[in-house]
Amino acid sequence: MDYKNTLNLPRTSFPMKANLPQRETMILTKWTNLYKKIQHEFSKKEIFILHDGPPYANGHIHMGHALNKVLKDIINKFNLIKGKRINYIPGWDCHGLPIEQQVEKNLKKENKRKEDIGKVLFRKMCREYAKKFVEIQKEEFIRIGILGDWENPYITMDPKYQAIEIKELGKFFKKNLIVKSKKPVYWCIYDKTAEAEAEVEYREKTDPSIYVKFPLKDEDNTFLVIWTTTPWTLPANLGVMVGEDYEYSFIKTGNGDVFIIARELLDSVKEKTGINGEIIKTVKGRDLVDLEYEHPFIDRTGIVYPSEFVTLTSGTGLVHMAPGHGIEDYTVGQRYGLEPFSPVDDEGRFTDEAPSFLRGINIFKANELIIEKLKEKNLLLFEEKITHSYPHCWRCKNPVIFRATPQWFIRMESEVNGKTLREKALEEIERVKWIPRYGKNRIKSMVEQRPDWCISRQRYWGVPVTVFYCEGCGTVIADEEVFEHIADIVENHPEGADIWFKAEPEELLPKGYVCPKCGGNKFKKEEDILDVWFDSGCSHAGVIRPLGVKKADLYLEGSDQHRGWFQASLLESVGSYGEAPYKAVLTHGFVVDEEGKKMSKSEGNVISPQEIINQYGADILRLWVVSEDYTEDIKIGQNIIKMIVEDYRKIRNTMRFMLSNLYDFDPSSQSVPYDEMFHFDKWILSRLGRVVNEVISGYENYKFHLVYHTMRNFASKDLSSIYFDVVKDRLYVYKPDSFERRSSQTALYNILLVTTVLLSPILSFTCEEVWEHIREIDKTLPESVFLANVEVKKLAPINEDIERDYGILLKLREHVMKVLEEARRQGFIKHPYEAKVFISGDGEITSVARKYEDYINFFLTVSQVDFEDGGNIFLKEEGLKIGVDRAEGKKCPRCWVYFKEEDFKGDVCTRCAEVLKEMGVHSN
RNA sequence: GGGCCUCUAGCUCAGCUGGUUAGAGCGUGCCCCUGAUAAGGGCAAGGUCGGUGGUUCGAGUCCACCGAGGCCCA
C-alpha cells in the first residue's frame, strides 16, 4: 500500500515561481480604485499626512525616484496597518529651466528661437512637454505599486496651483518680505538677456592678464597687488578680498616700493612680474582687513575684506572685488553692505557712473583704455595675454559677463512677528523632528548662512511675478487686492498664468484701478517669473492647508533637499504663516553602484527601475529599498539584485508552505484556543510576537532595513529551519482533524496572517497575492490586505515561560545537530530519523529535555531519544553528554520514523496504525 | 578648498552610555533529503572592525590626522 496517500501532504495553488512582471500587472488592475476605497472605509480614522515632494516633470523615473516613492509608500501603508487614514497626493514640479531648454532645443531643430514664437506659444510647448512626462512618470510610479491619489495629483502648472502661488506671493509683498535690488547674473550683451548658470558654455577666450598696484592710503609707497583678467571691472571695484588665515608678505623693492602679496604666491608673482626685493614682514590676512586703499584711477577709496572665496591657486592672494560683476564679490559685498555697483548698460557699454574716459565705450574695448590709464598712473605692475576657459552665451557664442541687474528678493532679515525671517525660520527648525538627527544641523547651518532668496528669473516658463509698475511715477503695484484679483483670473483661465502674458495690464488689474501714489492709470507688467523653488515651496499652501491641516506629518526626500525643497517650503511657510509646514522631515541618501560610486552614463553603471521591474518585478525593487540603510548611500548592482531575488524566494516559499498546509483549515471553527495549544506552537507564536514588536518598532523608527533583517531571519531560521521542519510530522502524519494538526494549523494561520500584514508595506504585490489565497481560507476577510484590520499583536502572544524552556531546548538542538553531522560524516546515519540520541548529565539542558520526554525526539527530528549515557559518536561538555547511535528497529513506511519491532502493528508503527484506523483506512 | 555624513566577514546589517575568545542572515564549500522539490535541512570556513597615531588598566566603541566614497556649497 502506498501510505503517501494517507498523509496530509501540502496542497496549494499558490505558485512557487512568482512570475512577478506578469502577475503584478494583474494585481494593479485590482488596485485601480483601492486608494478611493481606503479613503472611504477609513474616513473616520485619525489622519496621517505624508506630503509628497514634487519630482521634476522631465524624463523617465530613475532609481532615486523609485527609492523615494517606495519609502513614502511603505510609510503610508504602515500607517494603514496602524489603523490610520492616509492622505497622499502626489505632485509634479513643471516649470523651470530644464524644460525650457529642452523645448528650445526642439525649436532649434526647426531653426526657430523662442523669441520668434512669443511667450504664449512657447509656454504652450513647455506645458505640453511637462504634461507628457507627468503622465509617463505617473504610470511608472503606479507600476511600482505606489498607493496614492493618482487621479488628483498636484501639478505646479495647474491654474489652481498657480493661483494659490500668486496669493502666497501677495502675502509676502503685503508683509514687506520682498525687496527689489540688484544682483549680478550672467548677461549676454549681444542678446541683451540674462542667462542661467546652466545655460552658459565654457569656451577658450584670450584676455589681458594684469597685475595692478592699489596704493594704501595711510602708508606711502605701499601697494596691495591684485591680479585680474577683466580690467573692465576695475571701474566697479569697491574692495579687495583676502583669506583671513593666509599669510601675506610685504616685499620691499629696490626703489622703495612695498608690495603686499600672499606668501605662498610670492615666487610665482616674482617670476611673472620681475619684481624683486626682500620680505620685510609677513602678516595674517586678518591683519590686512580694514586697510584702506585708493582706487587706481577713480577718486575714491576702498578697504580690505575677509573672504572665504580667496584661493592661493593663482594670482596674488588679494582679489579685486566688484560686487556688481562677480557672484562671490557680491556675496561678500552683501555681508558688508556694499552695493552691487555695475556702471554697465544692457549692451555692455559704460554708463555715466563710470569715469568720463570710459563712458559709452564697450567693456571689452575698454580693457585697453584701462590698461593705458594704469600705465599712465604707474600702477600697472605687469601685463600679458592669457587664454583661459570663459563662459559664453550658448546661443550667440559670444562671451557673457556678470552684470548686476534688478531682481526680486525675499529678504532674510525682514521682520515676521517681531523677528527676522531668518531667526523665525531657525526657531521653527528647532521644533521640527529631523531624521536622521544630523539633518537639523545641515539645514540650520544653511539657513544661518544663506543669502537673501532671489525669487525672480528672466525667463519664459514659470509663474509670473504679478506686479505692475506705474508708468507715471514708477511705483510698484503689489497690493493684496491686486494679487487676489489676478489669482482669480489665473485660476479661471484654461491656460492659467499664460493670461499674464496675453492680457494688457488694464485687463489684469481690478476695474478702474489707479496708482495709489500718483493716480495714474497706465501700467506696465513685470516681465520676470518666479524661481521654481518658490513654486514647490508653496505646495503646503496648495495641498496641505486646503485640507484644513496646518502641518504635514512628514516630508521625505533626498538629503539634497535640505538646500532645496525643505528650505524653500520652510521659508515660504514661515514667511506666510509664521511656522514650518512639517512636523518631521526624513531624508534618504543617494543611489550608488556596488562600489559605492555614483551612477553616471559615462561610467556605464546606471541601473533603471524599469530594468528591474521588467526582469524581476516591482516587489524585488521594493525589497531592495528596505534591504539597506537608506540614510546613507544605497548601493545597487547585479549582485545585490541577485541576493534580493534569493531573499524574495525564501520569503515566498515560506508563505507558500504555510498556505499549503492550511487547505483544509477553517479558522473560525477549527482553531485551537491558545491555552490548549501545543507548547511548541505557543513557542513559535511567542517568537512571532517578538518579531511583531521588532518589526513595528523598525517601521515606527523608519529603520526598514531592520524590518527586513528581522523578517528574513524569522523566515529562514525560526520558521523554515526549526518550526516547519519539526511540525511537518504533526501536519502530515496525524488525522486531518486531530488536535496535533489543528494546533499547528492554528499557529500557521496566525503566522501567515501576521507576516502577510507586516510585509505588505514592502512586498505589496506578493502580500496581496497571498492575501487572496488567505481569503480562500477565511472568506470573511476584506478584499485587499490594505483594507485588513488585523490585530497582529493579539495573534502573537508572548509567553515567557515557554520561551525560557525553548531557549534551552534550542541549545540542545544545536548540540544534537552537530553530533548528527559528525555521525553522518562517519557514515553512521544519513537522515536524522536514522538516529537515536542519548542525552545525559546533570545540567539544565538535560532536566528541561526530560520535562518534554515524550516529544523531544520530534523536536530534534530524530527517531529515538534516551536519557542515559550512550552512543558511538558523542559530544561532551559541562553537565551534558550527547551521544548518537543508529535508531533501533525499522522505519515506519508511513511516517518514516524508526520504531522497535514491538511498536509496529502490521507494517506500520502503532501511531500510524491508530491514525489509519481513525481515518477508516485499512492497512496491512 | 569648506560644511555635513559614511567606511565592521564576499554581500546586507547588529554591536546601548568604552570592558570576557566581534554577532546574524545571505552567499560560498562540503554533506544529507527527495512527502515545501527549478524546494527543504545540517555542518564548516570566512572579519581584529578603512589606515596611522593618541587618550585609557582596557577601544570596533572617545580624540587627531590620513585615505576612500556620498550630498551640498565653492
- At A50-62, the pLDDT tens digits run 999 999 999 999 9
Residues 6+ apart with CB under 8 A from A669: none
Q: A183-197, A296-310, A898-912 — which one is most confidently predicted on average? A: A898-912
- For the segment A569-596, the average pLDDT, to the nearest whole number, is 95
Q: Which nucleotide is nearest to A327 (CA to C1')?
A: B74
| Nucleotide nearest the Cα atom of A197 (by C1') | B74
CA atom of A800 to C1′ atom of B16, Å: 23
**Sequence-distant (≥ 6) Cβ neighbours of residue A426 within 8 angstroms:** A444, A447, A448
For A176-192, write each residue's pLDDT tens digit.
Answer: 999 998 888 888 787 66
Q: What is the mean pLDDT of residues A389-412?
A: 81
Instruction: Select the more confidently predicted residue: A424 or A353.
Output: A424
Query: Nearest protein residue to B1's C1' (by CA)?
Result: A311
Nucleotides of B under 7 A from a protein CB: 1, 3-6, 10-14, 24-27, 31-44, 68-74
Distance from CA(A436) to C1'(B55), angstroms, rounded: 29
Q: Which nucleotide is nearest to A596 (CA to C1')?
A: B69
Give the residue nearest to nucleotide B68 (CA to C1'). A596
In degrees and rounded to multiples of 5, residue A739 shows phi and psi of: -60, -45
In this predicted structure, the answer to whether residue A85 has a pLDDT above a threshold of 70 is: yes
Q: How far is CA A861 from CA A654, A820, A834, A856, A903, in A?
A: 19, 11, 10, 8, 18
Our measurement of CA A824 to C1' B31, in angstroms, reads 8
DSSP character string of A550-588: SSBSEEEEEGGGGTTHHHHHHHHHHHHHSS-SBSEEEEE
The Å distance, CA of A828 to C1' of B28, is 27
Predicted pLDDT at A285: 76
**Is pLDDT of A235 > 90?**
no
The pLDDT assigned to A602 comes to: 82
**Gap between the Cα atoms of A124 and A121, Å rounded:** 5
Give the mean model confidence (pLDDT) for residues A79-101: 94
Q: Is the pLDDT confidence value at A76 over 90?
A: yes
- The number of angstroms, rounded, from the C-alpha of A337 to the middle of its chain's C-alpha atoms is 38
Q: Which nucleotide is nearest to A832 (CA to C1')?
A: B32
**pLDDT recorded at residue A395:** 66
Average pLDDT, rounded, for chain A: 91
Residue ranges of alpha helices (H) inside A311-437 are 327-335, 363-376, 421-431
Å between CA of A456 and C1' of B59:
54
State pLDDT tens for residues A817-844: 999 999 999 999 999 999 999 999 988 9
Q: Which nucleotide is nearest to A10 (CA to C1')?
A: B36
pLDDT, tens only, A468-515:
999 999 899 998 899 999 999 999 999 999 999 999 999 999 998 999
Q: How many CA atoms lie within 13 A of A891 on its CB side?
A: 13
Nucleotide nearest to A633 (CA to C1'): B70
The total number of residues shown for chain A amounts to: 924
* Close Cβ partners of A396 (under 8 Å, ≥ 6 residues apart): A188, A190, A191
Protein CA at A797 to nucleotide C1' at B39, angstroms: 31
Residues of chain A with pLDDT > 90: what percent? 64
Residue nearest to nucleotide B74 (CA to C1'): A309
Quote the pLDDT of residue A363. Answer: 83
Rg of chain A over Cα atoms, rounded to whole angstroms, equals 38
Q: Which of A463-467, A802-806, A878-882 has the lowest mean pLDDT?
A: A878-882
- Quote the cell numbers at residue A643: 541576493
Tens of pLDDT along A680-738? Answer: 999 999 999 999 999 999 999 999 999 999 999 999 999 999 999 999 999 999 999 99
Q: Whole-number Å distance, CA A437 to C1' B56? A: 30
Nucleotide with smallest C1' distance to residue A657 CA = B36
- Distance between the alpha carbon (CA) of A715 and the C1' atom of B18, Å: 35
Cell numbers at residue A687, please?
A: 517568537
- CA A67 / C1′ B24 distance in Å: 26
- Supply the pLDDT for residue A151: 96
> Which of A70-96 are b and which e, b meaning 16 or more Cβ less than 10 Å from the residue's Cβ?
bbbbbbbbbbbbeebbbbbbbbbbbbb
The candidate with the shortest Cα–Cα distance to A24, out of A117, A108, A201, A145, is A145
Distances (CA, A) of A25 to A37, A139, A644: 19, 12, 21
Nucleotide nearest to A829 (CA to C1'): B32
